[in-house]
Amino acid sequence: MGNLKSLLEFEIGATVRVAKINAGLGLKQRLLALGLVPGADIHVVENRYGPVRLCFNNSRIAVGRGVAAKILAAEAPEDVCGECPAEETCPDR
Amino acid sequence: MPENVTIALAGNPNAGKTSIFNGLTGGRQHVGNWPGVTVEKKEGEYEYRGARVRVVDLPGTYTLGAYSLDEVIARDFILSNEAEVIVNVVDASNLGRNLYLTTQLLEMGANVVVALNMFDVAEKMFDLESGVLSRLLGVPVIATVGTTARGIDELKAAVNAAAAERPADWPIRINYGHELEPHIEKLTSRLSNLDGLPPSLERRWLALKLLEGDERVTALVRGIAGGEAVADDAARAASHLQNVIGDDAVVAVADYRYGFIAGLLRDAVRPRAPSPLRVTVSDRIDKIVTSRRLGLPIFLVTAYAAFELTFKLAAPVVAGLEWSLGRLGANVAAWTASASPLLTSFVVDGVLGGVGSVLVFLPNIFLLFLVIAVLEDSGYMARVAFVMDEFMHKLNLHGRSFIPLILGFGCNVPAIMATRTLETRRERMITIMVIPLMSCSARLPIYVLFAGAFFAGRRGLVVWSLYLLGIVLAVIAAKLFGKILFPGESAHFVMELPPYRAPTLRGALLHAWERSREFVKRAGGIIFAASILIWGLANLPPGVAYASRDSILGTAGAAFAPVLHPAGFGEWEPAVALAAGVVAKEAVVSTLGVLYGAGEEGLTAVLRTTFTPLSAYAFMVMSLTYIPCVATIAVIRRETGSWRWTLFAAGYTIILGWLTATLIYQGGRLIGLG
């Protein structure tokens, strides 16, 4: 696994693999329930302004910048998103 | 089969719980609050083959932890065993996430029936066997489409069957792997040997929660004899696990749950066509609606349109209601004139004047909630919160708080009711406290009168400045309250942007109807009482002319007047008018008319002799800010559940109004405007 970065630091359109969530128990449980589990591949749709928009598991989730900073991830291995056609697509698992 | 059955609906937000609720109950519902908290509790009823079924709608949640009030409420209700059956509404097109809640319900030992909702959408995407799913989950699974009532009868039958016979314990048992399982098993058996735990609580679920570090379960176990040692062991096991797996137990638990769900879906679901990566229509809309450049303008246009629709469309109905009330008053006056002038005054000034002036807002309230329901059901409200979050964050508030604030410009009452969508008590309280500073439509007549009399050339600018002043004061107040009264961070913004859906007219109408009924029923009681009180004070002691200087109201006004002197309007008439404005703000205008003994046209002339432009502006500022009207106070009381906060809202607005008006008047005099 490569270098861990927060979701704020990835390029938009990147597919990343969640590694760690540095949050309190409550927020962590909420994020886990939405499918943000370590190991999950998610798509960063927009992170330049406002809440960060993510796409994974067939749902679109927005998280505040403070929350996004607590989610650490690495570039997903190439093969996962080899056929991502455009930046706004969503990897359905 | 039991004759009376209670069931609860549980499910993720946006899974279509409301449509299933309406499908089951026919939309008939009773809305109240959960005990001790201000989260709304919705209940309904239906009969099916001899069973009378009470349906309790639980708040929509993604999980049953303790992150938000909603989760705590849902969890406590499920654990209370008040419901014999839990109907778990899941979005069939998004099973991977929706079944996460299902696994938790099953582990809690709930008697679950799964409603596989939005089955029509899912069918297009993949082959889904509800029978296979049912076999794998060990509970009944019924395919439903809430919006068209498909599967509702089957669901009712399944509920009856489940209520008659509980399935064996532990229909499923997720294996949490070789690291966790030994600890879970050990804790489970130790918990089973403890006395004093409610027998209905699944011991294995408790063991899991102890390992996860759940505060409430830990406190429960520590509270019983011998529980301390078990909880201590669980804490030790949890920290040991943290070392071994490198993360909290909750993460490992979630991982195994998702693993279980993935395995289940591999067996039950076959994709129809290989189309895993696709841009949906929702994505295309979002690209525009939530974009940096267009997001805000689109929202402003939508808000403006919603506003126009609410007030323009309602205007003829409101006018009609006012006319009817006027006619009714005239008729009553004619009938009762011979009997007693006091009776006439009671009915016309007291009852019709007070309650009537509030009831005429009913069309506005109905339409406002219809528009909100449509925007909410379509999925757009989630985008509004998204677009406004950056700005609201600066005020230490959540993007969602913005919607109720905007509604406040129409009428504060529905605006405060709309704060129910906010997740934390902190956000709700701050938002409720500052909504009265949003200049509602009832304050406009006051501005129109005074601006017309004193600022004829710059009327628009003056009125606009008052709206702006309200917003500025609200921003300052929100910031202060957030720092002093409700310290803490703003709630974490974590929100699903659900796919856009066409809202159903039936659902929206039901929602608006429910809200309107509630407004009439509950606020009506308090408004009625207050109107009678003010009317009484205006007529006592016996023999005085209605609302004259000698009435208790007039005397009180005269006593209160010196306090208003620094603000530039120290006569008794403005004081009484402001007091009357508490019933309904537009009553300020009509009361001034009565007190100065002049009609609408003569009033302008009289006002010019008693006010200066500066004191007129100060009076408008006072009218904007001071104390919310009775209906708003009543709704604040109901929504906060606290007299203390209601009094605070009334108190701080009076002080703020007086301070601002005085500052403007005295400041203006200093620079030679007065």
Quote the pLDDT of residue B522. Answer: 57
Residue B352 phi, psi dihedral angles, 5° rounding: -70, -40
C-alpha triplet B173, B179, B185: angle, nearest 5°:
50
Residues of A with Cβ-Cβ distance to B279 under 8 angstroms: 85-86, 88-89
Question: Helices B380-394 and B362-378: crossing angle, nearest 10°?
Answer: 100
How far is B315 from B360, CA to CA, in rounded Å?
10
Nearest CA in chain A to B386: A51
Distance CA A68, CA A57 (A): 17
Predicted confidence at residue B431, as pLDDT, reads 93
Chain B hits for A50, CB-CB cut-off 8 Å, are: 290, 292, 295, 386-387, 389-390
Q: What is the pLDDT of residue B31?
A: 64
Q: Do A67 and B492 touch (CB under 8 A)?
A: yes
DSSP B463: H
Parallel, antiparallel, or unpaired for β A52-56 and A41-46? Answer: antiparallel
Domains of chain A: 5-77 (2.30.30.90)
> By the 8 A CB rule, do B625 and B656 touch?
yes
d(CA B490, CA B394): 10
Yes or no, beta carbons of A64 and B101 under 8 Å apart: no
SS3 B71: helix
Q: Do B251 and A64 touch (CB under 8 A)?
A: no
* pLDDT given for residue B143 in this prediction: 94
At B556 the pLDDT is 86
Helix (H, G, I), strand (E, B) or coil at B494: strand
Q: Which of A10, A73, A9, A12 is nearest to A41 (CA)?
A: A73
Other Cβ atoms closer than 10 A to A9: 16
Residues on chain A touching B93 (C-beta within 8 angstroms):
58
Q: Region A76-88: what's the mean pLDDT?
A: 48
pLDDT in tens, A11-56: 888 899 999 999 888 889 889 999 999 989 999 988 888 899 998 8
Which residue in the set A57, A67, A89 is minimally distant from B494, CB to CB? A67
Q: How many CB atoms lie within 10 A of CB B192?
A: 12
Residue A1 sits at the chain B interface (C-beta within 8 Å): no
Residues of chain A above pLDDT 90, percent? 42
Q: Which of residues 26-45 of A touch B (CB under 8 A)?
A: 26-35, 37-39
* Cα distance between residue B96 and residue B90, in whole Å: 10
| A88 three-class SS | coil
> Above 90 in pLDDT, residue A7?
yes
Round to whole Å and give the CA distance between B578 and B378: 42
Across the interface, whether the CB atoms of B97 and A92 are under 8 A apart is answered no
Spatial CA neighbour of B130 closest among B148, B112, B117, B149: B117
pLDDT for residue A2: 59
> Consecutive 10-residue runs of chain B (674 residues): their mean pLDDT?
87 89 84 59 90 92 81 90 94 91 93 94 83 90 91 95 78 88 95 89 93 91 92 94 89 94 88 58 87 88 79 80 82 79 76 69 79 85 86 82 82 82 83 93 84 86 89 92 82 85 86 79 67 78 78 86 91 87 80 72 83 94 92 88 94 96 94 78
Residue of A nearest to B104 (CA): A33
Give me the residue label for tokens 């009327």.
Answer: B459
Q: What pLDDT, on the 0 to 100 scale, is given for residue B279?
A: 65
Which of B97, B399, B492 is nearest residue A57 as measured by Cβ atoms? B97
- Catalogue all structural domains in chain B, each as residue range(s) with its CATH number: 4-164 (3.40.50.300), 177-271 (1.10.287.1770)
CB atoms within 10 A of CB B231: 21
CA distance B141 to chain A (A): 21
In single-letter form, the type of residue at position A54 comes to L
Q: What is the pLDDT of residue B359?
A: 72
At B1 the pLDDT is 56
